[in-house]
Amino acid sequence: MNRFMKLLEWEISRFGKIYLALCSLTIVVQFAGLFFTTLYSVFSANKMVKENAIPVEMIPPIQINVFKNSLWFGGPILISVSVLVLYVFFIWYREWWGKNTFAYRLLMLPTSRMNIYMAKVTAIMVFVFGLVALQIVLLALQNMLFNMIVPIKFLEKMALVDLIRSDFILSLLLPKYFIQFLYHYGTGAMFIVAIFTIIMLERSFRWKGIIAGIGYAVVLLGILWLPQIINILLYPKYWFNIEVFIIEIIIRVLLIAISLWLSSYLLRKRISV
């Protein structure tokens, strides 16, 4: 466990500068966007009242959704997600860059190779949870600031919970029920270990490994969609929704176990130093 924690700390520190840059980008862009969209909305409302002599009661209330539904809010999230997706691949392939590849020294460390593997998986999940936590804190602060900027005569307040529930991406990241939380993040973890397994196949067999990796991905996606295909196309409403949900959870657990076993085998038997 001590060696695993050291490997995890090392993996986090390697991505630390880029991660801090993503956090800083999110903070700066979102708060700049909040000020811009909010002040513009207030300016437009005042203009309608003064120049067009429209009663305040007739002006549509200003909600923080004018900011939350803009690129100012979603852009940094999209960039952060894209960088993390790319890093899922980069976290392994950078070890093989250069003539004196670092991967061989890494794999010769006096610890289980699966500790190295799991440290990389855990680091990715830590980065994801960190960005989600940051976004929730930022959204709470942004909501408070929005309520302070907008005059009460134009303001329509929204609770933080309502902001999360009304946003598709945020409701996925922070679902209402704990079982949905496990389902969503379990699915994310499954895709991470599946991608790592595909990388292990490519590193083990090169061109043949690429073909095997593509085949593995196709089979995995097919198995994932199998319950829905059966319940919608082949035998409509054969299972209840809760039964489909349970089957999907079991499938994800099995796919994670298979990916971990295959990755462990390839790391121990096929990738040599």
By the 10 Å C-beta count (0-12 exposed, 13-18 middle, 19+ buried), 244 is classed as middle
**Total number of domains constituting the chain:** 2
Q: What global pTM score does this model have? A: 0.88
pLDDT at 124: 95
Domain boundary among 148, 174, 200: 174
Indicate if the pLDDT at residue 100 is higher than 70.
Answer: no
Quickly state the pLDDT bin for 99 (edges 50, 70, 90): low
- 12 and 136 share a domain? yes
Q: Which residues of 61-75 are buried (b: 16+ CB within 10 A; e: fewer)?
A: ebbbebbbeeebbee
- 135 and 248 share a domain? no
pLDDT at 71: 92
How far apart CA 193 and CA 186 sit, in angstroms, is 11
- 155 and 184 share a domain? no
What domain range includes position 105? 1-174
String of DSSP letters for 5-65:
HHHHHHHHHHTHHHHHHHHHHHHHHHHHHHHHHHHHHHHHHHHHHHHS---GGGSPPB-TH
Beta-carbon neighbour count of residue 119 at 10 Å?
Answer: 22
**Mean pLDDT in residue range 193-204:** 92
Quickly state the pLDDT bin for 224 (edges 50, 70, 90): very high
Average pLDDT, the chain: 88
Question: Which of 55-69, 121-135, 150-164 shows the lowest mean pLDDT across its residues?
Answer: 55-69
pLDDT at 98: 58
Q: Which pairs from 89-94 meet CB under 8 Å and 24+ separation? A: 89/195, 89/199, 91/11, 91/15, 91/120, 91/123, 91/124, 92/120, 92/196, 92/199, 92/203, 93/199
- 133 and 46 share a domain? yes
Do you know the residue count of the chain?
Answer: 273
Indicate if the pLDDT at residue 164 is higher than 80.
Answer: yes
pLDDT at 101: 66
More reliable by pLDDT, 62 or 196:
196
**Mean pLDDT in residue range 80-93:** 91
- 155 and 188 share a domain? no
Beta-carbon neighbour count of residue 166 at 10 Å?
Answer: 14
By the 10 Å C-beta count (0-12 exposed, 13-18 middle, 19+ buried), 53 is classed as exposed
pLDDT at 113: 84
- 160 and 235 share a domain? no
pLDDT at 168: 82
More reliable by pLDDT, 78 or 56:
78
Domain boundary among 111, 144, 174: 174
- pLDDT-above-90 percentage for the chain: 49
- 28 and 141 share a domain? yes
- 186 and 132 share a domain? no
- 115 and 195 share a domain? no
How far apart CA 42 and CA 31 sit, in angstroms, is 16
Indicate if the pLDDT at residue 237 is higher than 90.
Answer: no
pLDDT at 273: 55
**Mean pLDDT in residue range 78-92:** 92
Domain boundary among 128, 154, 174: 174
- 108 and 95 share a domain? yes
How far apart CA 197 and CA 114 sit, in angstroms, is 12
More reliable by pLDDT, 214 or 53:
214
Beta-carbon neighbour count of residue 187 at 10 Å?
Answer: 16
Quickly state the pLDDT bin for 62 (edges 50, 70, 90): confident
Could you tell me if 205 and 101 are in contact, meaning their C-beta atoms sit under 8 angstroms apart?
no
- 69 and 162 share a domain? yes
- 142 and 242 share a domain? no
Of 188, 161, 160, whose CA–CA distance to 176 is shortest?
A: 161
